[in-house]
Chains A and B, each alone.
Chain A
């Protein structure tokens, strides 16, 4: 359970805590639904089958939406793409962020200065606005959304990882290995990276949650996954006007997104507490970087 697979052990331990169990259950149910959904939807999600905003009935348990389509089917089909794009952008963002963060912390000096300037520039853009900026010109293509959201994650991850890596780089065991003449790459991968892994795990969880929020938000505004494809974010917006007639068209996707993100966030919190319970008391998570003045690490507590 140690060494290369320690992160797995950390996840397992987190999964056993009450928060971990709650988180996994909530998120797991929704993820399962999203993955399996398209295959079990009773009707075609893009085909109009009945009256606009028809109330729930035995044929259509959640009623119909603004174009008379079966809400249940749309809900079942509307999650997988959202999750897939969110997963992709998370992987991209966290990967890039870890690279930049460790390099900046280890090399310090000019490298650190330049990298942090770039990070600062990207941080000036709110994530949603950055995605809108790119989408406005090139259009709402799925690959573009993935890349845009991924890039917007990278600077935040970089700051958090940099703060953790700085702490590690100061410790004597890194010096000890450098004294042996080990090249920089080996030191960063072999000594620094394993010791920031717990921070990276927490970031993965947080960024995945935020990816879902941003992509759903983009879809809500109409710039994400395009109609007529079913998409939870889009559905919420499309069916707002019919809130009084058939609230389920809005409430169902809202509930699903809420349960998913709450579950993920709770599980991520469990990971954070478990990993820090080993090294430091859990409460310090919220304060550890704040006290040292590094706003960066607060990315863990804030978006």
Chain B
């Protein structure tokens, strides 16, 4: 391709990008995301495999037996130089081959794959429920600012933000399962092979825990964003134009409160990726979080690598989605350029 056509192509591309900020954003973020993921994979690899000394023994620690040592060395190619180890690992990853579990020799992808779906369901359902309820409460609190409802809700939110997931989980278990009521199972016994949505009762407590954990942040942001919108000059102007209170609230204030809330929801979804570790462990829910905990106990490196990779890929993905939604919700940025 001659220099001229290449330059023309670039100019046309630039013009296209300028006219379609949405497409440009997605493409740029996706490229950045790929770079980030690549660097993340390097970090994961460095943390787990690039070890000095007798790596296999360090990995297995006290569970080392001659057979296991051999298995680890073969699996992780530990006798080869680090860079080539990385190459073979990342090559496998890109092909979909995540190696075999050191614990039972099965393919990691086959073993943990289904769990990804389970965890995804947990995250999405908790995210949606938590966001809807907390968001609505936040808007309500802002509309009834300084009322008793507002004060109580804000104080409760402040308290709950400080609690770790395992405390919330245990508290729920105490309340609904063990000591006070006996309505819900303390452990999510989802039989292997069945889908989570076929066992709704098992989902209630884990979802409730996660939803409660993220709710206060979304509540505070929704309230804050609505308050700021309602104190803005354009809402004052709307009132002075004689518009009804409802129209001012819903059509003028609310759309301007969406972008910051979207950002916060995104951040909370990312937080959930880490939160499911503890919650799945407590409820014995068959997801990637519980798998990770087991893998760490067993020093099952390939599983650890797989799960962390999945979680970080989730981060990149959610980041892109959040940016896109925030862009869509803001006409100023949508039409700029």
* Chain A residues within an 8 Å CB radius of B78: none
Would B162 and A265 count as touching, CB distance under 8 A?
Answer: yes
Would B221 and A213 count as touching, CB distance under 8 A?
Answer: no
Binds B, one of A38-46, A72-80, A189-197, A215-223: A215-223
Interface assignment of A160: CB less than 8 Å from any CB of chain B: no
Nearest Cβ on chain A to B261's Cβ, whole angstroms: 8
Q: What is the CA–CA distance of A291 and B32 in the complex, to the nearest angstrom? A: 23
Q: What is the CA–CA distance of A296 and B163 in the complex, to the nearest angstrom? A: 22
Would A137 and B164 count as touching, CB distance under 8 A?
Answer: no
Please provide the chain B residues from 43 to 87 with a CB less than 8 Å away from any CB of chain A in the complex: 43-44, 47-48, 51, 58-59, 61
Would A126 and B163 count as touching, CB distance under 8 A?
Answer: no
Contact of B170 among A244, A250, A290, A301 (CB under 8 A): A250
Would B51 and A137 count as touching, CB distance under 8 A?
Answer: yes
Nearest Cβ on chain B to A179's Cβ, whole angstroms: 32
Q: What is the CA–CA distance of A290 and B225 in the complex, to the nearest angstrom? A: 8
Total cross-chain contacts (CB, 8 A): 186
Would B316 and A295 count as touching, CB distance under 8 A?
Answer: no
Q: What is the CA–CA distance of A5 and B268 in the complex, to the nearest angstrom? A: 36
* Chain A residues within an 8 Å CB radius of B228: 283-284, 287, 291
Interface assignment of A134: CB less than 8 Å from any CB of chain B: yes
Please provide the chain A residues from 83 to 139 with a CB less than 8 Å away from any CB of chain B in the complex: 117, 120-129, 132-139
Would B315 and A124 count as touching, CB distance under 8 A?
Answer: yes
| A120, A134, A223, most chain B CB atoms within 10 A | A120
Tell me the interface secondary structure of chain A in the complex. Answer: helix
Would A132 and B296 count as touching, CB distance under 8 A?
Answer: yes
* Cβ proximity bits A134-177 to B, threshold 8 Å, 1 near / 0 not: 11111100000000000000000000000000000000000000
* Chain B residues within an 8 Å CB radius of A285: 224
| B44, B167, B261, B301, most chain A CB atoms within 10 A | B167
Would A244 and B179 count as touching, CB distance under 8 A?
Answer: yes
Interface assignment of A181: CB less than 8 Å from any CB of chain B: no
Please provide the chain B residues from 153 to 201 with a CB less than 8 Å away from any CB of chain A in the complex: 158-159, 161-167, 170-171, 173-174, 178-179
Would A243 and B178 count as touching, CB distance under 8 A?
Answer: yes
Q: Which residue of B lies closest to A140 (CB)?
A: B296
Q: What is the CA–CA distance of A127 and B282 in the complex, to the nearest angstrom? A: 18
7 A-B residue pairs with CB within 8 Å: A122-B43, A133-B304, A217-B164, A217-B278, A258-B163, A287-B221, A303-B271
Residue ranges of B at the interface with A (Cβ–Cβ < 8 Å) = 32, 35-37, 39-40, 43-44, 47-48, 51, 58-59, 61, 158-159, 161-167, 170-171, 173-174, 178-179, 217, 220-221, 223-225, 227-228, 231, 259-261, 263-264, 266-268, 270-271, 273-275, 277-278, 281-282, 292-293, 295-297, 299, 301, 304, 308, 311-312, 315-316, 322, 326, 333
